[in-house]
Amino acid sequence: MVKFSCEKIDLVFAEIAKTAALYIPSNDKNNKAVFTKWQKGTKLCDSHNTQIGPKDLFFPQTEDLMAFKASNKKIEIIDTRKESEDFVIFGVRACDVKSLEILDRVFLSEPRDSYYAMRREHGIIISLACTRPSEACFCTTFGIAPSEPGADISVWKINNEFFWQANTKRGEELLLKIEHFTTPAEPSEVEGEKQRISVLMKRLPLANLSTNGFGKGKTNELFEREEWAKLSEACLGCGTCTFVCPTCQCYDIKDFNTGNGVIRYRCWDSCMYSDFTKMAHGNNRNTRKERFRQRFMHKLVYFPENNNGLFGCVGCGRCISKCPVSMNIVKVMKKLGGNV
């Protein structure tokens, strides 16, 4: 473990950016925290979390998959992929670190998604322990410890110092690049901060939220519950919750005629939309209740059923903060799981 003063953070960022693209949480023009490519003058913000997690850097909202050109009844298939650049993401919270494990289960299972896999191979994640979690946070419900954020490097900010701890070989190699800015530190120096964070999490409004009543083997018990109809009445079907969610992985694939060929691309989609997976015969889920139920059953039942009990939610609280009608996974868990 090493440490350095907060005044050196821009020097450290500049050193990292010499060999890799660096993304940090920074306020945009609307004063919202987003992961921004660092350049001289980019300021690290102190928001507890970004508007959208780091998912966008591994699974972009839109990306070209391939291109086609037709000539004399022959079709040329063009691979549009380029070697992904090495990049580093600083300031990833523990919930978002866990979200990447969930995405890995989807995109790195056979058949592997080569686009996602390439970015994962080129990305280094530097996490940041939560010093001021939001009242909407409930990551501990899913066994996540915000005081032990994991990733390639774990970081704690204590008073006027940053403490960095390498957890992987890639993390160790990165620390070597900035060693002239750091001094050795002992793990015991962050123990007090870890305990402070743990105590703080227990005081949050959703600290007692439980996954009891959900998980593997609960499909038959929960699928026909009459509460789904009432819960879904308020839902607008806007899809906001799915777009800010760090673990949602639904997408659509479309072709675009450029006038000089065709580009095939994929873009994020939402199971909350009435035209999601719509085919010639129509849609598998014709009512809002069915679409609403699908979203939360997938997070709380279907995903753990197929992934050794791992839930598809990380308790980041973004859906609570962003839903325009305050309908979210917490209300579903409280209603169906008997949470108080």
- The reported pLDDT for the residue numbered 142 is 97
Split at pLDDT 50, 70, 90, the class of 47 is: confident
Q: Which domain holds residue 177?
A: 2-54+82-202
* 89 and 177 housed in the same domain: yes
* 281 and 160 housed in the same domain: no
**Token couple for 270:** 């939402």
Instruction: Provide DSSP, 238-253.
Output: --HHHHH-SS---EEE
* 102 and 173 housed in the same domain: yes
Q: Is 2 helix (H, G, I), strand (E, B) or coil?
A: strand
- The reported pLDDT for the residue numbered 111 is 93
Specify whether the backbone of 15 is left (phi greater than 0), alpha (psi in -120 to 50) or beta. alpha
Strand boundaries in 93-215, DSSP class E: 123-128, 153-158, 161-166, 183-184
Within a domain: 256: no
Residues 6+ apart with CB under 8 A from 219: 297, 301, 302, 305
For 289-339, write each residue's pLDDT tens digit. Answer: 999 999 999 999 999 999 999 999 999 999 999 999 999 999 999 999 875
* 243 and 193 housed in the same domain: no
Q: Is 149 helix (H, G, I), strand (E, B) or coil?
A: coil
CB 65 within 8 A of CB 53: no
* 36 and 156 housed in the same domain: yes
* 39 and 139 housed in the same domain: yes
Within a domain: 36: yes
Number of domains forming the structure of the chain: 2
Split at pLDDT 50, 70, 90, the class of 121 is: very high
Q: What is the mean pLDDT of residues 171-185?
A: 97
Split at pLDDT 50, 70, 90, the class of 274 is: confident
**Rounded CA separation 320/316 (Å):** 9
* 159 and 128 housed in the same domain: yes
Of 320 and 280, more confident? 320
- The reported pLDDT for the residue numbered 48 is 86
* 150 and 48 housed in the same domain: yes
- The reported pLDDT for the residue numbered 89 is 98
**Rounded CA separation 61/243 (Å):** 9
Q: What is the mean pLDDT of residues 249-268?
A: 93
* 32 and 147 housed in the same domain: yes
Within a domain: 72: no
Please state whether beta strands 87-92 and 21-27 pair in parallel, antiparallel, or not at all (unpaired).
parallel
* 121 and 165 housed in the same domain: yes
CB 145 within 8 A of CB 94: yes
Split at pLDDT 50, 70, 90, the class of 282 is: low
**Token couple for 30:** 């609307």
Q: What is the mean pLDDT of residues 221-230?
A: 95
**Rounded CA separation 280/108 (Å):** 30
* 40 and 187 housed in the same domain: yes
- The reported pLDDT for the residue numbered 279 is 65
- The reported pLDDT for the residue numbered 80 is 86
- The reported pLDDT for the residue numbered 57 is 95
The pTM of the full predicted model, rounded to 2 decimals, is: 0.92
Within a domain: 71: no
Edge-to-edge strand ranges of the sheet holding 262-268 = 74-78, 62-71, 262-268, 251-257
Within a domain: 285: yes
Mean pLDDT of the chain: 93
Within a domain: 133: yes
**What number of other Cβ atoms are within 10 A of residue 119's Cβ?**
19
Within a domain: 276: yes
How long is the chain? 340
Within a domain: 257: no
Residues 6+ apart with CB under 8 A from 282: none
Q: Is the pLDDT of residue 278 over 80?
A: no
Split at pLDDT 50, 70, 90, the class of 82 is: confident
Residue that finishes a domain, picked among 173, 202, 231 = 202
* 145 and 225 housed in the same domain: no
